[in-house]
C-alpha cells in the first residue's frame, strides 16, 4: 500500500532456474527525503548475472532512517555483489552559496520546458549542512559513486527525474509552440498547476518501461496510480522513485547514459539522448565551459 510507513520488502517471485546463481547487483531508486523531517519513497530490484530481474515490492514511503534500514536489510538478505542507488538529491555539494555548475548547465534545459530545479549549496543547512541526513546516508553506502567506474561500483549516484523525463522524451506539446515542448505538471501538491492528464501521461510512460521489463508487480502498482482521481504527493514520490530505479536499470543494462558535471563539484546521471546532449553542450559553450569535460556519454 502506498502512503504508509516503509517496511522491509520481500522478493515478489522466485526464479527456480536461478536458484544458487550469483546475484550481481541490488538496484535502488530513492526519491529522497532531502531533510531529516521529511519523507520520500524507495523502491528496489535485483538484477541477476543472466540479466533477469526480481522485484522487491512496490515503492514505500521512507525517511532517511527508514531507507537506510530497508537497503541494509536487502543487502543482508540477498548478499549482492554490488549495490547501486540512484538518488534524487545532490550527493556532492562543495559550494558555500549559490548553485553548483551542474545546476547552471542543466537548469537552462529544464527552464526552457517551464520547469525548475532546487539549487544546492551548503548555505541550505537542513539539506546540505554538516548535520544534514544525506551525508550520513552516503557514508553508510560507499559515498557518492563515480559512474565512470562501471557496473562493479557500490555507491550512490545522483539522478534527477525531471532531466530523465526530458532525456526519455516524455515532454508534452507546448501550447505556445515552443519546439522543446513542456514538462508534465504532475505534482499533486501544486494544485493550481496540477493536471490529471499530465499525471496519467507520466504514469503511462513509467508503466511502459516496467511492463517491457516484465516487472509486473511494480507495473500494476503504477497502473493503480494512473487510475487515481486525486493522487497525493506521496504517490508522486513513489512514481519518482520508480523513475530513479529506471535510470539504475538503464545503467545495469549497459545502455548509453549521460553524465553532466563531475565528481569534484557534483553531477547528474540520466539516460542518453542525442538531442539533449547537444542542448547541454550548447549551454556549456554559452557559459564558457569545455563541454567535453562537463557532458559525457558512457555505458557500463
**254: three-class secondary structure by DSSP:** coil
Q: Would you put residue 111 in left (φ > 0), alpha (ψ -120 to 50) or beta?
A: alpha
Separation between Cα atoms, residue 169 and residue 171, nearest integer Å: 5
Whether 184 contacts 197, CB under 8 Å = no
pLDDT tens-digit map of 172-199: 999 888 899 999 999 999 999 999 999 9
CA distances 261 to 124, 160, 185, 269, 290, Å, are: 20, 13, 27, 9, 11
For residue 10, tell me if it sits in a domain.
no
**Burial code of 276-288, b = ≥16 C-beta within 10 A, e = fewer?**
bbebbbebbeeee
Burial of 289 (0-12, 13-18, 19+ CB in 10 A): middle
pLDDT tens-digit map of 113-160: 999 999 999 999 999 999 999 999 999 999 999 999 876 668 999 999
pLDDT at 12: 41
pLDDT at 4: 54
292 C-beta neighbours (distance < 10 Å), count? 9
Q: Give the residue among 130, 154, 164, 156 at the shortest CA–CA distance from 67.
A: 156
Q: Give the residue among 102, 275, 111, 80 at the shortest CA–CA distance from 178.
A: 111
Q: Average pLDDT of 269-273?
A: 98
For residue 297, tell me if it sits in a domain.
no
Q: What are the two backbone dihedrals, phi and then psi, of residue 133, each rounded to the nearest 5 degrees?
A: -65, -20
Q: What is the DSSP letter of 272?
A: -
Q: How many domains does the chain have?
A: 1
pLDDT at 23: 67
pLDDT tens-digit map of 68-126: 999 999 999 999 999 999 999 999 999 999 999 999 999 999 999 999 999 999 999 99
Q: Give the residue among 159, 21, 7 at the shortest CA–CA distance from 80.
A: 21
pLDDT at 33: 81
Hey, what's the cell of 256?
548509453
Q: What is the DSSP letter of 144?
A: B
**Which of 18-22, 218-222, 276-280 is predicted least confidently?**
18-22
- Host domain of residue 273: 16-289
pLDDT at 292: 97
pLDDT tens-digit map of 23-55: 689 999 999 988 888 999 999 999 998 899 999
Amino acid at each position: 500500500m502506498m502512503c504508509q510507513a516503509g517496511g522491509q520488502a520481500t522478493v515478489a517471485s522466485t526464479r527456480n532456474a536461478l536458484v544458487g546463481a550469483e546475484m550481481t547487483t541490488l538496484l535502488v531508486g530513492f526519491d529522497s527525503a532531502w531533510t531529516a523531517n521529511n519523507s520520500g519513497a524507495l523502491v528496489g530490484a535485483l538484477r541477476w548475472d543472466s540479466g533477469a530481474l526480481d522485484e522487491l515490492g512496490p515503492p514505500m514511503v521512507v525517511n532517511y532512517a527508514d531507507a537506510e534500514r530497508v537497503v541494509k536489510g536487502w543487502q543482508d538478505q540477498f548478499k549482492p555483489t554490488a549495490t547501486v542507488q540512484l538518488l534524487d538529491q545532490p550527493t556532492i555539494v562543495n559550494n558555500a552559496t549559490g548553485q553548483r555548475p551542474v545546476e547552471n548547465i542543466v537548469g537552462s534545459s529544464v527552464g526552457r520546458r517551464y520547469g525548475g530545479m532546487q539549487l544546492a549549496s551548503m548555505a541550505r543547512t537542513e539539506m546540505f549542512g554538516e548535520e544534514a541526513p544525506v551525508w550520513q546516508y552516503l557514508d553508510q553506502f560507499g559515498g557518492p559513486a563515480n559512474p565512470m567506474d562501471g557496473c562493479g561500483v557500490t555507491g550512490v549516484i545522483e539522478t534527477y527525474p525531471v532531466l530523465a523525463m526530458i532525456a526519455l522524451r516524455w515532454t508534452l506539446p507546448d501550447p505556445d509552440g515552443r519546439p522543446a515542448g513542456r514538462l508534465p505538471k504532475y505534482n499533486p501538491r501544486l494544485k493550481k498547476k496540477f493536471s490529471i492528464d499530465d499525471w496519467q501521461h507520466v504514469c503511462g510512460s513509467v508503466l511502459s518501461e516496467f511492463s517491457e521489463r516484465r516487472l509486473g508487480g511494480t507495473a500494476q502498482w503504477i497502473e493503480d496510480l494512473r487510475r487515481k482521481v486525486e493522487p497525493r504527493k506521496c504517490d508522486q514520490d513513489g512514481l519518482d522513485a520508480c523513475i530513479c530505479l529506471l535510470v539504475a536499470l538503464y545503467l545495469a543494462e549497459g545502455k548509453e547514459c549521460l553524465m553532466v558535471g563531475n565528481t569534484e563539484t557534483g553531477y547528474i546521471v540520466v539516460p542518453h539522448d542525442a538531442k539533449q546532449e547537444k542542448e547541454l553542450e550548447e549551454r556549456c559553450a554559452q557559459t564558457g565551459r569545455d563541454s567535453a569535460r562537463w557532458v559525457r556519454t558512457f555505458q557500463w
